[in-house]
Amino acid sequence: MTRLDPTARLGTHEVTNQPPARGDCDLWVTDPTLRAAVARAGGRIAPLAEYGAAMGTELLRQAGRDANRHPPELRAFDAGGRRLDEVAFHPAWHRLMAESTAAGYAALPWDGAPGGHVTHAAMVYLASQVEPGHCCPLTMTYAAVPVLQADPGLAAHWQPKLTSRAHDPSARPLALKQGATLGMAMTEKQGGSDLRATTTTALPEGDAYRLTGHKWFCSAPMSDGFLTLAQAPGGLTCFLVPRWLEGARNGIEIQRLKDKLGNRANASAEIEYRDAVAHRLGDEGAGIRTILTMVHHTRLDTAMAPAGLMRAALSEAMHWVSHRSAFQRRLIDQPLMRAVLADLALDWEGALALGLRVARAFDAPDQAPFARIAVALAKFLSNKRCPVVVAEAMEVLGGAGYVEESPLPLLYREAPLNGIWEGSGNVICLDILRTLARDPEAGTALVAELDAARGADRRYDAALQAFRARFAGPPDAAEARLFAERMATLLTASLLLRDAPGAVADLYVATRLDGPGTRVPGAIAACDTTALLDRLGPA
């Protein structure tokens, strides 16, 4: 459809010095850094090229804005007072869900072909640039598949629907659906991250159980089922709770939807189980061990999403500075502006490289020990940098970046989320210490990855040696953040030294490992900014 340009000559003035509308923007073609990283990690090019082209269209970017402006609504009752416990979404949400589901966002890692997790991780990165909220139900559906292997019967029943390419939001039993999603409901008011404090009870009844209790945070309450934890006679146990039974609704009541800072297009809720039918996954008493399989996979997505958010923010900033002038010079030609953007681009480069390296380990069974430790390191570091990058990109646009017509407010609200979801910073850092203490193979794999870059840069070698001297023994818990931040930064530097252009790796090492310690973006020595900004792709 032909679209007329907006009118620039107005009654009182002519609109000048404003960037043009972005129009369609192929997220795959315009991102040479992503393309190179995916190829290096063994991802599948064809589905990503198709998905990146679709997600970058003006149509789907508008759908992302519409889905956030028209958030989901709880429909607890029908007109006659009968319980519905359903969530209604704007059509834009369903358009996004259908596109990502059809692309294989949740299905590709489980189809047996190589590179599935890398391809999935790259899709997380692409989707996060357009509308991050719809990633939530798809991420949990992806991560639920390996958990179901604890019960082959349940897996045979559920997995074909979870890995379907059809988006089917209908309220009906699984057997009648073309596709399905799974959510998660673990957090309770009194426990938070302490899952052992769970009070929801599970009583055996025939081949199933009946659950009674509350969940203070249920992710994606519109899903066709939930993985959840409850206290069974044998201890804390993992269950699959279907939303819909044959001919009836299960005993799951949505108390209210959460009024969140961001992630507005997606629903999150408080729910109660009232004698809800549930199916056990794994042994009684093994609930945390079972559910951690899901958490492990969702953490991959929480490590990749910030790279996508940073990329989206920097893309908007580059578009602005490439078409905006001040004091007779384009902003992109101003040395200080280039220094700020180049410094921010380093955090994006590092997050993308680290996230896809972790995804490659998910694809290789022999690299499972490395995946266990590296996914936590990537999640921690990338999410600590993400809010800073997005805020600075907003500042590049000035007041225009603070207005909802810009994508920056949506990205800014989203920036803290992945640092909270699936374990906030302190939880992740303590998990890193526990993993290294209990899993010698993970530590060995991490050491090998760090040593692989030795000899490439004397500053890196010195920083690695200093780190090992500083933490010659097990770190104290109070220093867990210092340990995690330094370890993750060294790991990122190791990857960039081996795979990124020399200018990128050199500046990362100079500013993150060898610099004076300031972390004000742009407070860097004069450097080759062109090599860094060119990797952001065309403005």
Position 536, amino acid: L
Residue-averaged pLDDT of the chain = 95
User: pLDDT tens digits for 351-379?
Assistant: 999 999 999 999 999 999 999 999 999 99
User: pLDDT tens digits for 52-108?
Assistant: 999 999 999 999 999 999 999 999 999 999 999 999 999 999 999 999 999 999 999
- Report how many domains make up the chain: 2
The answer to whether residue 316 sits within a structural domain is yes
Q: Residue 531: what pLDDT?
A: 87
| Mean per-residue pLDDT, 479-493 | 97
| Residue with token string 């080759």 | 528
Query: Strand 225-232 vs strand 182-187: parallel, antiparallel, or unpaired?
Result: parallel
Give the domain CATH number at 161.
2.40.110.20
Same domain assignment for residues 186 and 306: no
- Other CB atoms within a 10 A radius of the CB of residue 510 amount to 16
At how many degrees (to 10) do helices 502-512 and 458-470 cross?
40
The answer to whether residue 8 sits within a structural domain is no
Same domain assignment for residues 385 and 517: yes
User: pLDDT tens digits for 114-155?
Assistant: 999 999 999 999 999 999 999 999 999 999 999 999 999 999
The answer to whether residue 440 sits within a structural domain is yes
Is-contact 311 344, C-beta < 8 A? no
Q: Is a pLDDT exceeding 70 seen at residue 172?
A: yes
Q: Is a pLDDT exceeding 90 seen at residue 537?
A: no
Same domain assignment for residues 261 and 298: no
| Count of all residues that appear for the chain in the document | 539
Position 318, amino acid: M
Q: Indicate the residue among 253, 285, 317 that finishes a domain.
A: 285
Q: What percent of the chain has pLDDT over 90?
A: 92
Same domain assignment for residues 293 and 248: no
Same domain assignment for residues 259 and 349: no
Q: Is a pLDDT exceeding 90 seen at residue 527?
A: no
Task: Give the pLDDT band (50/70/90) at residue 517.
Answer: low
Same domain assignment for residues 313 and 228: no
Same domain assignment for residues 490 and 517: yes
Q: Indicate the residue among 251, 285, 319 that finishes a domain.
A: 285
Same domain assignment for residues 369 and 301: yes
Distance spanning both ends of the chain, measured CA to CA: 24
Q: Indicate the residue among 228, 263, 285 that finishes a domain.
A: 285
Same domain assignment for residues 520 and 408: yes
Q: Is a pLDDT exceeding 80 seen at residue 515?
A: no
The answer to whether residue 23 sits within a structural domain is no
The answer to whether residue 26 sits within a structural domain is no
User: pLDDT tens digits for 200-216?
Assistant: 999 999 999 999 999 99
Same domain assignment for residues 363 and 312: yes
Calpha distance 35→375 (Å, rounded) = 21
The answer to whether residue 3 sits within a structural domain is no
Domain carrying residue 42: 32-285
- Closest by Cα among 94, 98, 120 to 107: 120
Calpha distance 240→442 (Å, rounded) = 30
Same domain assignment for residues 382 and 274: no
Structure tokens at 67: 């889905």
User: pLDDT tens digits for 61-77?
Assistant: 999 999 999 999 999 99
Helix, strand, coil shares, percent, the chain, to 5: 55, 15, 30
The answer to whether residue 454 sits within a structural domain is yes
Q: What percent of the chain has pLDDT over 70?
A: 99
Same domain assignment for residues 130 and 171: yes
Maximum Cα interatomic distance, the chain, rounded to a whole number of Å: 78
User: pLDDT tens digits for 369-414?
Assistant: 999 999 999 999 999 999 999 999 999 999 999 999 999 999 999 9
User: pLDDT tens digits for 34-58?
Assistant: 999 999 999 999 999 999 999 999 9
Give the domain CATH number at 499.
1.20.140.10
The answer to whether residue 141 sits within a structural domain is yes
Which 8-state DSSP code applies to residue 20? P
